[in-house]
Copies of this chain bind each other. A is one copy, B any other.
Amino acid sequence: MPQHLNQQYQRLKAIASEDLRGREVARLISEMVLWSRQILQRAERVQLTSRVVGKRYYGFRGDGESRPTNEALYANDERELSRLLRAFRNGFRAATGDDIVRSAYTIAYSIFAANDVYEVGRKASATFFEILIGHMVARAVGVSSRKKVRIPESGADLPTDYVFDPGRNSRKIHLPIKTSTRERAVQAWVHQLVLERIFGTGVYRGVLVVSAETKRDSRTGEVFEICVPKQLQMFQSRVAAISRIYYLDPPHVYLNLAAEFPRVEVKSFGEAFGELRELLRA
């Protein structure tokens, strides 16, 4: 079964690189989720000791152990899953922020858990997550994505995270996507700075999407969030300004940054859909 999931994953990568916004991407992702759930039926479900205030996590155990899964965000019920997948395939027309987050979280963590349990390697999960979020954002803003920009003075291509460019009379979106940031958070700010130094300030809006900052201590099995709020503030004030950070499972300490100074606008991913077009305009 993992082989079949891997074949689907290879196809997804090929299709997404041609048309990230296309419906075929959503269809294939839905299929992959159903396969993952079948795989996970054979895995053991283990309650984890959570050191994150107000959140409960469990994991799946097979050949390997899965990363922590947030009980409140992961849809276990098959009927609810069908409903969330349908909303996803319909591009979340009229969906609530809650449904958007639960849908994205359940899709992502079904695949993550299946990959972790079968020790597929973290790269496949990271790439899958990039495609999942990239697809959702592409449909939300109604613009196709690119993964490079042309440097004006040299004509050379600079490889980037997904960028969305509605045309010369519009701001553009620069969309780094990560399953977690840890010491790699800085990359989003550096790429934002590089775009600013090539194209000027305010042309690209930086929007960072992250799944979670949880980590399971391999010795004790306890779940922690690894957060570096002071560092994010330093990047925001001394490297470049990122417009939004959206989390599927936002750490409280990061949500608080939206009310502090230097301000870092951290929000739940559910709020992205109402704001993304605004970010392109304003």
Interface set of A (CB-CB < 8 Å, partner B): 158, 183-184, 186-187, 189-190, 193-194, 197-198, 234-235, 238-239
What residue of chain B has the Cβ atom nearest to residue A186's Cβ? B190
In the bound complex, CA of A198 to CA of B239 (Å): 11
Q: Is the CB of B238 within 8 A of A193?
A: yes
* Further pairs besides A190-B235, A193-B239, A194-B238: 14, Cβ < 8 Å: A158-B234, A183-B184, A183-B187, A186-B186, A186-B190, A189-B190, A190-B190, A190-B239, A193-B193, A193-B238, A194-B234, A197-B238, A197-B239, A198-B238
- Distance to closest chain B CB from A200 (angstroms): 13
Contacts of A190 in B (CB 8 A): 186, 189-190, 235, 239
- Distance to closest chain B CB from A12 (angstroms): 24
Is chain A's interface secondary structure helix, strand, loop, or mixed overall? helix
In the bound complex, CA of A235 to CA of B197 (Å): 11
8 shortest A-B CB distances, which residue pairs?
A194-B238, A197-B238, A186-B190, A190-B190, A190-B239, A193-B239, A186-B187, A194-B234
Contacts of A198 in B (CB 8 A): 238
Q: Is the CB of A239 within 8 A of B194?
A: yes
In the bound complex, CA of A24 to CA of B187 (Å): 38
In the bound complex, CA of A158 to CA of B198 (Å): 28
11 contacts between A and B (CB under 8 A): A158-B234, A183-B184, A186-B187, A190-B190, A190-B235, A190-B239, A193-B239, A194-B234, A194-B238, A194-B239, A197-B239
- Distance to closest chain B CB from A7 (angstroms): 22
Contacts of A194 in B (CB 8 A): 234, 238-239
Contacts of A189 in B (CB 8 A): 190
In the bound complex, CA of A193 to CA of B189 (Å): 12
Interface centre among A158, A190, A197, A234 (most CB of B within 10 A): A190
In the bound complex, CA of A213 to CA of B259 (Å): 42
